[in-house]
Amino acid sequence: MAGSTPNRGVCAFCGLREQNKETGRLLKTSDDKITAHLNCTIFSPKVITTVSSNENFGGFDINSVKKEIKRGEKVKCKLKTCRKRGATIGCDIEDCKKTYHYMCAKNDGAKIINNEEKEKYIILCKHHRTDKQDEAGDSRRSETSSDSSTSSSTDDSDTLGTPRAR
């Protein structure tokens, strides 16, 4: 879905132009060279948040976003109806090789955990989506916090999300 040349108004991760409740808003750099959906960005594992006052990409470190976009050019989506590059979001189970675009994960029946309060954003493919694995802390990016009972999970990710610290 993503290409190596910037296309204004198109998400650099998934290649979609639309923005809605599921994708989150489209973030853009001040020079309009990079555009990406909030959820495509926030669920990409190597994107870092920043508090820099001169950052203009929704609270994300622009260099980490650029690196993830570049990495995505080599990673194909595992959804059979897609198979396009730009799939930076992987199942959070260490040994799983499923990679997706955000909306492809959603369309494939993955479990999407969007816990803004704990800054926990996890995707579990349809084969690993059981609550038991999430509660056990088997995911790669799970927090070391001992209180996992307050983690909220949803398949509908009904908020646009906020940038996370990593």
Rounded to two decimals, the pTM is 0.73
Tell me which residue of 118, 95, 98 sits closest to 110, measured CA to CA.
98
Quote the CA–CA distance of 48 and 75 in Å, as a whole number: 19
Between 95 and 160, the more confident residue is 95
Q: Tell whether 143 is covered by a domain.
A: no
pLDDT at 165 > cutoff 50: no
Convert the pLDDT of each residue in 2-54 to its tens digit: 444 455 689 999 999 999 999 999 999 988 899 999 999 999 999 998 877 65
Instruction: Assess contact for 159 and 114: CB atoms under 8 A.
Output: yes
Q: Tell whether 101 is covered by a domain.
A: yes
Give the CATH number, domain containing residue 119: 3.30.40.10
Q: Tell whether 152 is covered by a domain.
A: no
Quote the CA–CA distance of 111 and 107 in Å, as a whole number: 10
Q: Tell whether 4 is covered by a domain.
A: no
Three-class DSSP category at 131: helix
| Structural domain range at position 74 | 26-124
Q: Tell whether 130 is covered by a domain.
A: no
Q: Tell whether 140 is covered by a domain.
A: no
Q: Where is 58: in which H helix or E strand?
A: none
Q: How many domains does the chain have?
A: 1
Q: Tell whether 74 is covered by a domain.
A: yes
Between 98 and 115, the more confident residue is 98
Quote the CA–CA distance of 56 and 124 in Å, as a whole number: 30
Q: Tell whether 151 is covered by a domain.
A: no
Three-class DSSP category at 103: helix
Phi, psi of 114, rounded to the nearest 5 degrees: -125, 90
The DSSP 8-state label assigned to residue 25 in this structure reads P
Q: What is the pLDDT of residue 32?
A: 86
Quote the CA–CA distance of 39 and 147 in Å, as a whole number: 25
137: left (phi over 0), alpha (psi -120 to 50) or beta: left
Question: What is the pLDDT of the chain when averaged over all its residues?
Answer: 79
Cα separations in angstroms, 34 against 2, 148, 159: 11, 35, 23
Helices (H) and strands (E) in the chain, counts: 4, 6
